[in-house]
Amino acid sequence: MSQSVDAEEGPRLGEGPRDGSGERAWLLQSPCVESGRTPEAERAKAAGGVSSTAAVFIVVNAALGAGLLNFPAAFNMAGGVVAGLMLQMCMLIFIISGLVVLGYCSQVSNEATYQEVVRVSCGKVSGVVCELSIAVYTFGTCIAFFIVIGDQLECCESCVLAHEAAPSHWYLQRRFTICVTAILVILPLSIPKEIGFQKYASAFSVVGTWYVTIVVIVKYFLLTEETVPTNVPTSAASWTAVFNAMPTICFGFQCHVSSVPVFNSMSRKQMRPWGLVVTVGMIICLFVYTGTGVCGFLSFGSEVKQDVLMSYPSDDIAIAIARAFIVVCVVTSYPILHFCGRAVVEGLWLRCRGEQVELCVVRERRRRILQTVVWFSSTLALALFIPDIGKVISLIGGLAACFIFVFPGLCLIQAKLSESDDRSASWYVLVVYGVVMVTIGAFVFGLTTSNSVYQDIVS
């Protein structure tokens, strides 16, 4: 979930970082006051844009991330390998079609960011709802990042205590290690206006996720008769349990917010090459997530934990390296996700206040520091008291369904309704498909979110 941005110039007010191959750092950026074509899209167009091959890797990089750790538990909730694969394949159809729809709506609306496509296609109210959803989603993802850090460092503590045969020390406890890592590393990386240091984090993140997948697959094939789990579910406990796996899948494949600027950065900004890009990209992600999900689930059965790395022995060297990869990936990804959320909050604040650009620049530093401290403190405090990453993903995963189904479906409906040409059979098919997308997205969001809240209240 890391991104690459230019090392020389970071985002200015009302624009994002300047690297055409970057992702969420500039992909989610809100304009200062008024919407318009982003400088990245215009420059990419002038420079010839990125190739389809490069666009595939950008899309893959935008989707892959720490959500990989939860796929084995998702297969367990879905009721086994067959049910998990069927659910994943069915959702993949809508995931790919949603990406294609966003490219089409971006072309029709002539906008280069997700929230501006929604704003122009569906109106200001929908645009504001979309921006608020992005802010909440990035906020929840930042909480999940802190929990992932705590999980991995907690295993390191267990490994140290096992070798020393000593009682637990206060400086090795989960909450303390999270706070130290957050304050000493993440907070300083989150305050700057420019985030050019993230230029190499993108490639490192991809390497880390692939390493985790390879390790999980290898560990499965190294199982012996003594270590094979005895309880491997082959069916879900209930029909609602199947839907409980959907937030994790949505969270893992959600790259739709990032897709609009990627589409606008392509040298061939046409629907056919874009359809090929997102199809290949999602198939690559499918193999990574399926390999981790299936092998991780079969390695532990019903005993698999929400974070699959927590299921392995704490003194396993290969797993320890995987944990190190994940921690570094998360530490470098948090500032970027925070930047995305901060950018959206900044855009909403300036629109509501109606301030002049000159005044925005003068007060930018004070607002940025205040927003960063409040955001950082809130996410850290919540992460300290929510030790289970599954609870966070069940909430923000339902919100991810809105980015995959609801908003693209609304944009498609509005784009087709605005056409004044003769309404052919294909026109009606696309409108109906848009209605289906909105209905499915609303159902998934409502069911998973209400079920998550209910489970939290019961527990």
Higher pLDDT, 378 or 168: 378
The stretch 450-456 carries a mean pLDDT of 76
Answer whether residue 30 shows pLDDT above 50: no
What's residue 151's pLDDT?
82
**Bigger pLDDT: 173 vs 51:** 51
Query: Per-residue confidence at 2, pLDDT binned at 50, 70, 90?
Result: very low
- Residues 227-277 pLDDT 10s: 778 788 877 777 777 777 888 899 889 888 888 888 988 888 889 999 999
Rounded CA-CA distance 219/284 in Å is 21
Residues 341-348: what's their mean pLDDT? Answer: 83
Query: Would you give the end-to-end CA distance of the chain in angstroms?
Result: 31
421 or 270, greater pLDDT? 270
How far apart (Å, rounded) are the C-alpha atoms in residues 117 and 221? 46
Rounded to whole angstroms, the Cα distance separating 186 from 178 reads 10
Select 24-395's CATH number: 1.10.4160, 1.10.3470, 1.20.120, 1.10.530. Answer: 1.10.4160
| pLDDT tens for each residue of 115-147 | 889 999 998 899 899 999 999 998 998 998 898
Residue 458: burial class (beta carbons within 10 Å; 0-12, 13-18, 19+): exposed
pLDDT value at 4 more than 70: no
**Alpha-carbon span 96 to 91, nearest angstrom:** 9
Quick one: 34 exposed, middle or buried, by C-beta within 10 A (0-12, 13-18, 19+)? exposed
pLDDT tens-place string over residues 393-403: 878 888 899 99
Q: What is the per-residue pLDDT for 68? A: 87
Higher pLDDT, 423 or 70: 70
- Confidence tier at 31 by pLDDT (50, 70, 90): very low
User: Lowest mean pLDDT: which of 155-164, 273-282, 365-374, 437-446?
Assistant: 155-164
pLDDT in tens, 186-210: 888 888 876 655 555 666 777 888 8
Residue 177 · residue 32 · CB < 8 Å: no
- The whole-number pLDDT of residue 100 equals 94
Token pair recorded at residue 69: 């750790």
Contact assessment for residue 306 and residue 70, using Cβ atoms and an 8 Å cutoff: yes
Q: Residues 6 or more apart from 274 whose CB is under 8 A from it?
A: 55, 99, 100, 103, 263, 266
Per-residue pLDDT for 219 more than 80?
yes
Please say if the pLDDT value at position 379 is more than 90.
yes
The structure's pTM equals 0.79
pLDDT at 194: 66
Residue predicted with more confidence, 371 or 9: 371
Residue 3 predicted with pLDDT over 70: no
